[in-house]
C-alpha cells in the first residue's frame, strides 16, 4: 500500500502540474496572469487527481493485466 500511495502522489503531481499548465495556456495564452492562474488551477487539480488516481489505480492495474495476458 505504501508503494501505491507514493506512486499515486508522484503521478497525480506530475499529471496535474502539466495538464493544468496546458489547459491554462489554451485558455489564456502567455499573459501577465498566466503563472498565477496556472498555480491556482494546479492547487485545485492536484487533490482531485490524487483521489481519482488512488481510486482508479486498482481498476487500471486489472485492466492492464487482462490486456497483457491476451497479448501473444
Residue 72: pLDDT band with limits 50, 70, 90:
confident
How many other CB atoms are there within 10 angstroms of residue 24's CB atom?
A: 21
The Cα–Cα gap between 49 and 11 comes to: 9
Q: Please say if the pLDDT value at position 1 is more than 90.
A: no
Taking the alpha carbons at both ends of the chain, their separation in whole angstroms is 31
Provide the domain limits for residue 44: 2-70
In the chain, the number of structural domains is: 1
Question: Which run of H or of E encompasses 59?
Answer: helix 34-70
pLDDT for 25 equals: 98
Amino acid at each position: 500500500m505504501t508503494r501505491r500511495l507514493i506512486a499515486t502522489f508522484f503521478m497525480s503531481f506530475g499529471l496535474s502540474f502539466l495538464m493544468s499548465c496546458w489547459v491554462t495556456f489554451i485558455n489564456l495564452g502567455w499573459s501577465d496572469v498566466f503563472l498565477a492562474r496556472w498555480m491556482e488551477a494546479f492547487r485545485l487539480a492536484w487533490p482531485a487527481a490524487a483521489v481519482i488516481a488512488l481510486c482508479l489505480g486498482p481498476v487500471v492495474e486489472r485492466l492492464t493485466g487482462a490486456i497483457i495476458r491476451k497479448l501473444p
